[in-house]
């Protein structure tokens, strides 16, 4: 299978169903994994429709494949800017410049993000930290328990 065609089909299917494509993996033996998300969260009907639309673009008689459409799980790093926009207000773990910090995402700009980082001393005010996207090596949504 050709990666560009799979990606194009997945992008179109996602956009037609109120979602956006995060990533496509094309694995050996034509195993396709499409990660999609939506600004207000995905429901199972959206995932089913996206799956059907992608499948409809390819002929299993010509080339067999295995397709999985999924939302990205919390263990996967954020990959595209739209994911950062969607997660404004949530806590992120961000690795950058050989450091790791956890804080609440206050702003997502195409060039940088702003986190509100709690200090070790609970009575100290949070510090706003601006990090350029070019410095980020990995960012994940932090799993927090209240």
Inform me whether the pLDDT recorded for 14 exceeds 90.
yes
Specify whether 63 is located in the same domain as 21.
yes
Question: Which residue, of 39, 70, 101, is where some domain finishes?
Answer: 70
- Tell me which residue range forms the domain holding 16: 3-70
On whether residue 28 sits in a domain, the answer given is yes
Tokens representing 50?
């996206």
Q: What confidence tens digit (pLDDT) does each residue in 20-40 have?
A: 999 999 999 999 999 999 998
For residue 75, tell me if it sits in a domain: no
What residue spans of the chain are helical by DSSP H?
3-16, 44-56, 81-86
User: Number of helices (H) and strands (E), helices first, in the chain?
Assistant: 3, 8
Q: Which residues of 84-112 are buried (b: 16+ CB within 10 A; e: fewer)?
A: bebbeeebbebebeeeeeebbbeebeeee
Identify the CATH number of the domain in which residue 11 sits: 3.30.300
Instruction: Tell me how many domains the chain contains.
Output: 2
- Residues 65 and 23 grouped into a single domain: yes
**10/65 same-domain check:** yes
pTM, two decimal places = 0.86
Confidence at residue 67, expressed as pLDDT on a 0 to 100 scale: 97
- In this structure, what is the dihedral angle of CA atoms 92, 94, 99, 104, given to the nearest 10 degrees? -30
């Amino acid at each position: 299978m050709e990666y560009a065609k799979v990606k194009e089909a997945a992008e179109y299917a996602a956009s037609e169903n109120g979602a956006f494509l995060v990533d496509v993996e094309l694995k050996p033996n034509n195993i396709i994994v499409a990660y999609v998300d939506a600004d207000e969260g995905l429901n199972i009907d959206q995932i089913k429709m996206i799956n059907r639309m992608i499948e409809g673009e390819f002929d299993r008689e010509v080339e067999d494949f295995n397709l999985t459409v999924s939302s990205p799980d919390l263990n996967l790093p954020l990959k595209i800017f739209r994911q950062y926009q969607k997660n404004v207000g949530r806590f992120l773990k961000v690795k950058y410049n050989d450091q790791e910090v956890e804080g609440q995402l206050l702003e997502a700009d195409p060039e940088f993000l702003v986190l509100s980082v709690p200090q070790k001393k609970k009575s100290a005010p949070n510090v706003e930290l601006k990090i350029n996207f070019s410095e980020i090596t990995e960012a994940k949504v932090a799993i927090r328990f209240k």
